[in-house]
Chains A and B, each alone.
Chain A
């Protein structure tokens, strides 16, 4: 699945990945997809909780060499 927006949040510490992700998602239309890359170890649980609470959709997430990759669909 292709993302409409890519957000590089690598090397950012809590709470910046979520703050940046919120700003980025605000700029999208419903149905569009954002890809986020992070390195903060807490971001897996952070993003899962944040996407659930803000009622968006986690399309996929994976971890590769210490980089967390999330595809989030704006609802």
Chain B
């Protein structure tokens, strides 16, 4: 089988709602192009993968503080512009619904359904005190070498 699939990779560094939406729309589009798609989540991007509910895991004081200060999951992300104490995201969600655009949680579900590989950066998980139990099921855990392995084969590599 020489017929290898094309690849696309995205690094999602940002934890902003608008940027995460853009990343997932591109990822889903690339999957529809029949590419093997990887999204590598690092730093604030990891918050996109957090489960909505509080997961009880053993943590130190600083890790706990980070956990409370950062948005808990895709529904809680703020906008990069016009956040207005959380009013911005609600407005965006409203207009997205009006225009029949998928919400971020729906885009994530669609990506998983389409076989997009979601990879959490373990080094930054340690820095921010995030544990595997707190992140969505069905994702992978890796570091920069695994990302570069994928990116090396890909023609489209984005940092968002």
Interfacial residues, chain A to chain B (CB-CB below 8 A): 11-16, 18-19, 21-22, 50, 53-54
**B142 at interface by CB-CB < 8 Å:** no
Please report the C-alpha to C-alpha distance between residue A53 and residue B99 in the assembled complex, in whole angstroms: 27
A15 adjacent to B34 (CB under 8 Å): no
> Could you list 14 A-B pairs, sorted by A, with CB under 8 Å?
A11-B100, A12-B100, A13-B99, A13-B101, A14-B29, A15-B32, A16-B100, A16-B102, A19-B28, A19-B114, A22-B32, A22-B33, A22-B34, A54-B34
How many angstroms between the C-alpha atoms of A12 and B25 in the bound complex? 13
Contact B29 A15 (CB under 8 A): yes
Which residues of B sit under 8 angstroms from A22, Cβ to Cβ? 31-34
Q: Report yes or no: A15 in contact with B25, Cβ–Cβ below 8 A.
A: yes
CB-defined contacts of A18 to chain B, threshold 8 Å: 29, 32-33
Residues of B within 8 A of A21 (CB): 32
A-B contact count, CB below 8 Å?
34
Distance between Cα atoms of A53 and B102 in the complex (Å):
24
Q: B92 an interface residue at 8 Å Cβ cutoff?
A: no
A28 CB to nearest B CB, Å: 14
Among B25, B32, B102, max chain A CB count under 10 A is at B32
Closest chain B residue to A49 by CB distance?
B33
Among B28, B99, B100, which residue has its beta carbon within 8 angstroms of that of A15? B28
Given contacts A15-B25, A19-B28, contact A50 B33 (CB under 8 A): yes
Is residue B110 contacting chain A, with contact meaning CB distance below 8 A? yes
Find residues 13-69 in chain B having any chain A CB closer than 8 Å to their own CB: 25, 28-29, 31-34
Q: Measured between C-beta atoms, what is the minimum distance from A19 to chain B in Å?
A: 5
Q: Are A13 and B102 in contact (CB under 8 A)?
A: yes
| Cα of A18 to Cα of B28 in the assembled complex, Å | 9
* Contact between B100 and A13, CB atoms less than 8 A apart: yes
B32: chain A residues at CB < 8 Å are: 15, 18-19, 21-22, 50
Most chain B CB atoms below 10 A, which of A11, A15, A18, A22: A15
Q: Which of A13, A14, A19, A53 contacts B31 (CB 8 A)?
A: A19
What residues of A have a CB within 8 angstroms of the CB of B31 in the complex?
A: 19, 22
Minimum CB–CB distance for A55 against chain B, Å: 10
CA distance A16 to B99 in the complex (A): 12
Quote the shortest CB–CB distance from A40 to chain B (angstroms): 9
